[in-house]
């Protein structure tokens, strides 16, 4: 009896986990977006393909945590109620010349959208490790930074989705009583404002 109960509990837990996984299916915008005002060296912008590389890294890392993750080129392509992950490059520090030209860094913003509305956001920053510069050029260093940021975004995503769901539930619970009050006031007969004297 106890073994059967344990088995049933395991099956239910697996079912809930699968349902949650299906609800959390994510669509990633690739390539990543480069903010028009982002400070970036023209040589790095031209040669390193940062948007494509970062978008690919984010998609890969998120797919490892959320199997079935999809890609789209623009958030407007997402269907209703789809969870969309959009990453924007806010700034890039670094010149050509690899580690000899100084440190390299990238600052990005990750956003979760649903129905074209941002429901969670965060900013993340990664800087090159001193060891990288001794063996790599600028673009390989930037690609390592992009890989690290992809991992950072994937780690942030689960907790961000939980927060987004909590906000959505709170919003639904706030709206529902107002709708009930509105329906009740509409259905109730009008009360006379004054009595007619006889």
Give residue 155's pLDDT. 97
- DSSP β-bridge partners for residue 126: 106
Can you give the CATH number for the domain in which 98 is found?
Answer: 3.40.50
Does the reported pTM lie above 0.75?
no
pLDDT tens, 176-186? 455 555 555 55
Give residue 102's pLDDT. 75
Closest by CA position to 118, among listed 164, 73, 77: 164
- The answer to whether residue 149 is domain-embedded is yes
Question: HEC profile for the chain?
Answer: CHHHHHHHHHHHHHHHHHHHHHHCCEEEECCCEECCCCCCCHHHHHHCCHHHHHHHHHHHHHHHHCCCCEEECCHHHCCCCCEEEEEEEEEEECCCCHHHHCCCEEEEEEEEEECCEEEEEEEEEEECCHHHHCCCCHHHHHHHHHHHHHHHHHHHHHHHHHHHHHHHHHHHHHHHHHHHHHHHHHHCCCCCCCCCCC
- The answer to whether residue 19 is domain-embedded is no
| pLDDT above 80 for 1 | no
- The answer to whether residue 15 is domain-embedded is no
- The answer to whether residue 178 is domain-embedded is no
Share of the chain above pLDDT 70, in %: 66
- The answer to whether residue 151 is domain-embedded is yes
Which residues form the domain of 76?
A: 25-165
- The answer to whether residue 8 is domain-embedded is no
| pLDDT above 80 for 8 | no
Domains in the chain: how many in total?
1
- The answer to whether residue 14 is domain-embedded is no
pLDDT tens, 111-125? 999 998 999 999 999
- The answer to whether residue 37 is domain-embedded is yes
């Amino acid at each position: 009896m106890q073994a059967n109960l344990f088995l049933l509990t395991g099956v239910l837990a697996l079912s809930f986990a699968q349902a949650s996984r299906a609800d959390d299916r994510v669509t990633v915008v690739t390539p990543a977006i480069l903010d028009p005002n982002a400070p970036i060296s023209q040589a790095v912008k031209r040669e390193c393909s940062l948007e494509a590389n970062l978008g690919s890294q984010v998609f890969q890392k998120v797919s490892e945590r959320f199997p079935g993750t999809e890609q789209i080129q623009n958030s407007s392509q997402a269907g209703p109620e789809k969870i969309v992950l959009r990453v924007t490059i806010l700034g890039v520090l670094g010149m050509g010349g690899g580690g000899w030209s100084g440190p390299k860094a990238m600052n990005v913003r990750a956003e979760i959208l649903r129905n074209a509305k941002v429901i969670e956001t965060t900013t993340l920053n990664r800087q090159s490790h001193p060891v990288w510069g001794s063996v790599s050029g600028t673009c390989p260093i930037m690609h390592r930074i992009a890989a690290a940021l992809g991992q950072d975004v994937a780690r942030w995503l689960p907790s961000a989705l939980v927060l987004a769901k909590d906000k959505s539930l709170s919003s639904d619970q706030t709206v529902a009583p107002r709708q009930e009050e509105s329906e009740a006031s509409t259905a109730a007969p009008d009360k006379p404002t004054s009595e007619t004297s006889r």
